[in-house]
Structure 1
Amino acid sequence: MNILFEELFDDNLVGKANTQKPNLTSLKSNPTINKEVAVIGIDFQNDFLEEGNLGVANSYQDVRNFAKFVYENIDVIDDIFMSLDIHQPKQIFHPAWWVNDKGQYPEPFTVITYQDVLEGSWKPLYQEKESIEYLRELEATGKKSLIIWSYHCLQGTFGAAIETQLSNLLFAFSLYKEKDVHYVTKGLNPISEMYGIVKPEYSKTDLTDKNLLSQLQNYKRIVIGGEAKSHCVLETVKQMVEEFEKVNHNDYLIYVLEDCTSSIAGFEEATEDEYKKLAAKYPIKLITTRELEF
């Protein structure tokens, strides 16, 4: 690319509101039609960055590393998929959905269990039957417990937008490669946390995004970074490999960029154990951007 990285990505503006786009009038394009390498950026949105409503420690550096990786490998990367976690205030994982026996809303990071609801400790204000069923099935299938998160990535807000400097780089990628970035929206179902990009944690009907899976099966190498390593990145990786296994698709290798993703505090140890188990069973490599060579 004949544009310097520093012309696209200003370190001092990471996480800041900035609508100015880089001047790319001199950019020379280099389109490709290969389907070899895909990069997936999970929820690199302002609310998941360090000063956001649900900020992840070290996320600013994750964004910098991810952007630099894309820039340095732009001629090798065939497609980029970016997930967007989009919510409304009234959803099962937000405080407004629940009250306790004193009529109080839960604080962020409160865990609400099926037993809590049966005992009357917490009561859903909306879709009571569906909420209770979700808790029961979430626990029965061994998924994560329902955690109440602070309001985040609300539709139409700055917090829901991709970090501005990374957005500039994606803009340049589109013009340089003459192809669109694929944006994958998730999270608007009120009765689901929807950590992974493939499907909800639980649903009565099959809501698996088969179109997305079909697209991803075209690539030999899939590179993933984003926030948070302990939740949306982990669930995305798990869902992908499990769904690939169902259709006997094994001609791929997933790279999880360790310097482009960080865990929510308190989940680090369990997260590392999960990744080790996955890497032992599936074609997954945990690697840094400096170690990865195409």
Structure 2
Amino acid sequence: MSTQTTKQLPIPPHFDAKKVGEVWRVLYEERSHDAQAWAKKHNIAPAAKDKTRICLMVIDAQNTFCIPKFELFVGGRSGTGAVDDNVRLCEFIYRNLGLITTIYPTMDTHTAMQIFHSLFWVNDAGEHPAPMTIISLDEVQKGVWKVNPAIAHSVAGGNYLGLMRHASHYVDKLSDGGKYPLIIWPYHAMLGGIGHALVSSVEEALFFHAIARNSQTGFEIKGGNPLTENYSVLRPEVLEGADGRPIAQKNARFIQKLLEFDAVIIAGQAKSHCVAWTIDDLLTEIVAQDPNLAKKVYLLEDCTSPVVVPGVIDFTDPADAAFKRFADAGMHIVKSTQPIETWADITL
């Protein structure tokens, strides 16, 4: 008989929904003692004993995307999207503490000299493109935007011509692959910076889960390659350089790890970008292996929001269309407030 806790649990008293939109220090020692006491009080067994193994993948729940006034806050149409999403996400984790076997947070991770950052590009006047500039293949071919020669030493060992060839090839591959065009993003999720860190309330919930369930949090880092973007944690946007040699590879290890679970729950930011492309890549792998595996994937639709810049761009409709496509393929769209035992195709 399974010792897995199937009932929903109360929210621990330390959780404060009003603080989810703020940055603060997690009190690890206190939380560790609290989590152990909580597990004992509610008879929460170690995750290793789970009969039904459930994974929660939390995509890029970092300050840079989830805290108002940070670089790429995902407000959605409501203007408070990511904050509201993370309140629900934390509550979902706490309520289902005895059911979630392992949590995998992905972390967008960048440095200054990357192909989607301003410093990488320059025009004849010596100006760098402003954030949110779209760089087209035509502009690269005509020399409107060129690779900044000053970065060649740091990025390509001084091979400026090779870097230029790669830049042209890269923008061409994006257009061929039906991906988003090359967008110059504001500097964000900078390695070592406060924007790179997980949202404090989410970090606390993940730590609490790790202690209560004796289950190591599985951090997945993405986005550090200077020569390609990495919306998806499962594979970069472009895999090879202009010479056909690989510059990156898909995350086969993590893909296989996910598909070994009985259920994979996905939440995070942003629904229109990193979430959508990660699910899309996962679906591609599923279709290649066994389309029926799509039934083990559950999308927490109330714990993710699309990119919306009022008066500029609104990715809500494309994001919703992507989720409909995922559902049509067999994935389940669920809400965090629905008890997991009521979800279709899951047996506890």
Q: Which TM-score applies when normalising by structure 2?
A: 0.79
Specify the code of the residue in structure 2 equivalent to 1:39: L
Which secondary structure does the structure 1 equivalent of 2:170 belong to? helix
Q: Distance in 1 between matches of 2:292 and 2:211?
A: 32
Specify the code of the residue in structure 2 equivalent to 1:177: R
Counterpart selection for 1:52 from 65, 70, 73:
70
Distance 1:249 1:176, change over 3 A: farther
Specify the code of the residue in structure 1 equivalent to 2:220: V
Q: Distance in 2 between matches of 1:287 and 1:237?
A: 15
Deviation digits for residues 164-210 of structure 1 (CA, Å, limit 9, x no counterpart): 11111111101111010110000000111100010101111260111
- Structure 1 stretch 50-59 or stretch 24-33: which is displaced more? 24-33
Gaps of 5+ in 1: none
Distance 1:4 1:20, change over 3 A: farther
Counterpart selection for 1:17 from 19, 23, 26:
23
Q: Distance in 1 between matches of 2:129 and 2:13?
A: 45
Deviation digits for residues 263-293 of structure 1 (CA, Å, limit 9, x no counterpart): 001111122122222322x221222212353
Counterpart selection for 2:54 from 37, 46, 49:
37
Deviation digits for residues 27-77 of structure 1 (CA, Å, limit 9, x no counterpart): 435202235211110000000012211111011111111110111111111
Richer in helix (by share): 2
**What is the match of residue 112 of structure 1?**
135
**What is the match of residue 223 of structure 1?**
265
* Equivalent runs, 1:245-264 vs 2, <5 Å: 245-248=287-290, 250-251=292-293, 252-264=295-307
Structural RMSD (CA): 2.0
**What is the match of residue 223 of structure 2?**
187
Deviation digits for residues 145-172 of structure 1 (CA, Å, limit 9, x no counterpart): 1111110000001100000111111111
Counterpart selection for 2:106 from 79, 83, 88:
83
Q: Distance in 2 between matches of 1:219 and 1:293?
A: 15
Deviation at 1:6, TM superposition (A): 4.9
**What is the match of residue 61 of structure 1?**
84
Richer in strand (by share): 1
Q: Distance in 2 between matches of 1:55 and 1:76?
A: 30
Distance 1:169 1:100, change over 3 A: same
Q: Distance in 2 between matches of 1:279 and 1:105?
A: 41
**Structure 1 consecutive aligned stretches of length 4 or more whose deviation exceeds 4 Å:** none
- Structure 1 stretch 16-25 or stretch 36-45: which is displaced more? 16-25
Identity of counterpart residues, as a percentage?
28
**What is the match of residue 177 of structure 1?**
213
Asked whether the equivalents of residues 223 and 255 of structure 1 are also in contact (C-alpha less than 8 Å), the reply is yes
Asked whether the equivalents of residues 223 and 256 of structure 1 are also in contact (C-alpha less than 8 Å), the reply is yes
The total of aligned residue pairs comes to 293
Asked whether the equivalents of residues 8 and 169 of structure 1 are also in contact (C-alpha less than 8 Å), the reply is no
